[in-house]
Structure 1
Amino acid sequence: MNVCSLLRVVFLSAVLAVGVRPRASAQAPPVRTFTNPLRDEGPDPWVTQHGGFYYYTNTTGKNITLWKTKAVSEVHEAPATIVWTPPATGPNSTQIWAPELHRLDGKWYLYYTATDKANPGDQSRHVFVLENAGADPTTGTWVDRGQVNTRYPGLDGSVFQQGGQRYFLYSAYVGPQSVLAIAPMQTPWALAAGKEVIIAQPTLAWEKGGGRQILEGPEFLAGQQGQLLVIYSASACWDDNYCLGMLTAPKGSDPLNPASWTKATAPVFQPSAKNGVWGTGHNCFTKSPDGRQDWIVYHAKAAADGKCEGRSARMQRFSWNADGTPRFGEPVPLTERQPAPSGE
């Protein structure tokens, strides 16, 4: 064998050796996780998903601030934009609570609760609306559309659509404290006159904590079997056992018929002494970026102190029962690492 042939044999042997060498196994990317809270000060949190972004807001008491992010689990790192500051005087001049951002008819609407600085209190508390025609709610001009024409004073206004009709939900001051009322909407800022009805009152012991009788923070959730669900907060916000209740209306029923609604006899989401979570309430719902997971966003306290303070914004994934109603489980402790929403 000449030198050239010998070199060819050595080269081919090397190539074969490389070819049969076992390849390193592919490493799966690590699962990204997060821990609560989303924001240390985050009472009455609200999240809207639109155009690949999440827009987050919560009660600040003095203005309306929006946070814009692609990952809601990272909202604490998002820039804050103050989009509206109340006037110095007038019916919406103080106690700015529970803002909700909705995309309706190609525009942005902010519903918020406010009171008159010159005459603060429950009887001067109402829900108001701001409108923005811009593509991004953190920019553009917000126009004051005034007070929603509810029958009663109240707070915590929200909006949902069902069967081609838009409805307004809120907590109305009726009787000793507050009840849940619903009305059809003519426009995003006006209700159909004379159509408002009360669909729930505080009748159960866990709805009367903290020396008050309160149903508030009503939020619509579509059931998995076509039913209408309203998840609401029960008892006073300073009550350590502040929790979530649920109303259910069967598929095809009329939301304006009080008889359509059945109240769950026990809370569907409540504090956990084991996990150090208290005052679970005033929630909203959102989806993971890929639309595959359902998440509840809510506020809670880390101490059973009988105060309406120290409420941080939190989130956790929830599943569904066989009957199409949500299974929220227990509120997770602040120390628990959760897998981030899929698609983040």
Structure 2
Amino acid sequence: MLAARKIALAGAIALGLACATADARRPKATIANPLLPSGADPWIVRQGDTYYYMNTLGNRLAIRKTRDLARLAEAPETTVWTPPATGPNAQSIWAPELHRIGGAWYIYYTAAEAGHDDDAHRGIFVLENTGDDPTEGAWVDRGRLKTENNGIDGTTFAQGGKRYFVYSPYIGPDSDLAIVAMSDPWTLTGPETIIALPDRAWERQGGRQILEGPEFLAGPNGDLFLSYSASACWSDDYAIGLLSAPRGSDPLDPKAWTKTPQPVIAKAPDQGVFAPGHNGFFTSPDGRETWIVYHANPGPDMKCTAKRAPRIQRVDWSPGGTPVFARPTKADVPPPGSGRQHHR
């Protein structure tokens, strides 16, 4: 039903240009949000001309793959891993991220111990697949990352020849953002550093002080950016914020990071967008455009349910190399940035 609404247009946007020969004979489709009727904590990564998509399912990890995000709803969902019946990663399988690192695929995901679905029993785990296609082949369990605290929403990025891991640890009543170096994709090394606290009023909505869902974005001038989600997911004021660090700075130094005073993507009630959050970044097939994916509710007071659905929009850049995020638009309307010429 969702795919039927994506009516063919004469000019396809950048994200749909990479089609196989057989696909090229099909009518062109344009992106319309939401991409799927449901999909909390969405993640998109591109490898060559193929996009891989994941979201929280709770009881397993599954991947969709497509060469045209306008047809994501048509892509079959391939389950690649199911949790064990017992153990530290047996339930609450959340926030999967698929990364290509050194010729292998890795999935970072949050899980909870069997019989203990609470903050004190949540951690981040890693799976590895050495094949070319993450929907095929065997996934090897690399275990739980040895973080200093229990937490959720792990991500990884490389900068200056070094790899880092960022996640949301539980520190007392708060959820903060912490960073630590990595010696390989499943091994942390050295002490953790807290780089952000929920110290703004807009980060304390819904009765909890929460920063979570950190995601890395490289700026065109070499600056570092980390987006994050703030406030409780059950609040309509759940929103996306941004940290920045100048080119050449040490990501492990908390003094290097500066927080934007207000969210960069927030609710837009007149557009039917509430509680936008838990985002990720990906690029167009030519590598020239940056896009953001995030989930949002279509109405107020819908909280943290399956009604959260994935949305995308293009990220522009200011002359100074800072990301510029458009305000979310209504469902079934081409997202901000689609069909426009790339510029920096």
Please tell me the residue identity of whatever aligns with 2:74. Answer: E
- Kindly report which structure 2 residues correspond to 1:98-109, keeping only aligned pairs within 5 A, or say none: 98-109=95-106
Match of 2:282 in 1: 286
TM-score (norm 2): 0.88
Instruction: For residue 270 of structure 2, give the secondary structure of its aligned residue in structure 1.
Output: coil
- How much has 1:304 moved relative to structure 2? 0.8
The answer to whether the aligner puts 1:36 opposite 2:16 as a matched pair is no
- Larger mean CA deviation between 93-102 and 306-315 belongs to 306-315
Compare CA radii of gyration and give the structure with the larger one: 1
- Of 71, 79, 87 in structure 2, the residue corresponding to residue 82 of structure 1 is 79
Match of 2:27 in 1: none
- How much has 1:242 moved relative to structure 2? 0.7
1: CA distance between counterparts of 2:217 and 2:234? 25
- Of 232, 236, 244 in structure 1, the residue corresponding to residue 232 of structure 2 is 236
Please tell me the residue identity of whatever aligns with 2:294. Answer: Y
Preserved contact between residue 34 and residue 340 of structure 1 (Cα < 8 Å): no
Preserved contact between residue 316 and residue 332 of structure 1 (Cα < 8 Å): no
Instruction: For residue 170 of structure 1, give the secondary structure of its aligned residue in structure 2.
Output: strand
- Of 311, 332, 336 in structure 2, the residue corresponding to residue 335 of structure 1 is 332
Preserved contact between residue 34 and residue 332 of structure 2 (Cα < 8 Å): no
Match of 1:299 in 2: 295
The answer to whether the aligner puts 1:117 opposite 2:97 as a matched pair is no
Preserved contact between residue 293 and residue 342 of structure 1 (Cα < 8 Å): no
- How much has 1:306 moved relative to structure 2? 4.8
Q: Deviations over 1:292-320 (max 9, x none)?
A: 32211110000111511210001111211
Match of 2:215 in 1: 219
Please tell me the residue identity of whatever aligns with 2:246. Answer: P
Instruction: For residue 145 of structure 1, give the secondary structure of its aligned residue in structure 2.
Output: strand
Preserved contact between residue 45 and residue 56 of structure 1 (Cα < 8 Å): yes
- Larger mean CA deviation between 206-215 and 113-122 belongs to 113-122
Match of 1:19 in 2: none
2: CA distance between counterparts of 1:267 and 1:85? 35
- Larger mean CA deviation between 94-103 and 51-60 belongs to 51-60
2: CA distance between counterparts of 1:289 and 1:341? 15
Q: Deviations over 1:82-136 (max 9, x none)?
A: 0000000100000000000011111110000000122221011000000111111
The answer to whether the aligner puts 1:258 opposite 2:238 as a matched pair is no
- How much has 1:241 moved relative to structure 2? 1.1
Preserved contact between residue 128 and residue 147 of structure 1 (Cα < 8 Å): yes
2: CA distance between counterparts of 1:333 and 1:224? 29
- How much has 1:323 moved relative to structure 2? 2.3
1: CA distance between counterparts of 2:63 and 2:251? 31
CA RMSD for the aligned pairs?
A: 1.5
Match of 1:169 in 2: 166
Instruction: For residue 271 of structure 2, give the secondary structure of its aligned residue in structure 1.
Output: coil
Preserved contact between residue 293 and residue 341 of structure 1 (Cα < 8 Å): no
The answer to whether the aligner puts 1:183 opposite 2:163 as a matched pair is no
2: CA distance between counterparts of 1:340 and 1:175? 46
Q: Against the structure 1 CA distance between its residues 245 and 146, is the aligned structure 2 distance closer, same or farther, given a 3 Å change threshold? A: same
2: CA distance between counterparts of 1:45 and 1:306? 18
The answer to whether the aligner puts 1:271 opposite 2:279 as a matched pair is no
Preserved contact between residue 31 and residue 69 of structure 2 (Cα < 8 Å): no
Match of 2:149 in 1: 152
1: CA distance between counterparts of 2:45 and 2:302? 31
Please tell me the residue identity of whatever aligns with 2:274. Answer: W
Please tell me the residue identity of whatever aligns with 1:299. Answer: H
- How much has 1:322 moved relative to structure 2? 2.3
2: CA distance between counterparts of 1:342 and 1:325? 18
- How much has 1:71 moved relative to structure 2? 1.2
Please tell me the residue identity of whatever aligns with 1:237. Answer: C
Preserved contact between residue 48 and residue 285 of structure 2 (Cα < 8 Å): no
Q: How many residues align?
A: 314
2: CA distance between counterparts of 1:70 and 1:207? 36
- Larger mean CA deviation between 196-205 and 289-298 belongs to 289-298
Please tell me the residue identity of whatever aligns with 1:272. Answer: A
2: CA distance between counterparts of 1:276 and 1:260? 36
Preserved contact between residue 290 and residue 342 of structure 1 (Cα < 8 Å): no
Instruction: For residue 73 of structure 1, give the secondary structure of its aligned residue in structure 2.
Output: helix
2: CA distance between counterparts of 1:213 and 1:337? 34
2: CA distance between counterparts of 1:39 and 1:264? 30
Instruction: For residue 209 of structure 2, give the secondary structure of its aligned residue in structure 1.
Output: coil
Instruction: For residue 265 of structure 2, give the secondary structure of its aligned residue in structure 1.
Output: coil
Instruction: For residue 137 of structure 1, give the secondary structure of its aligned residue in structure 2.
Output: coil
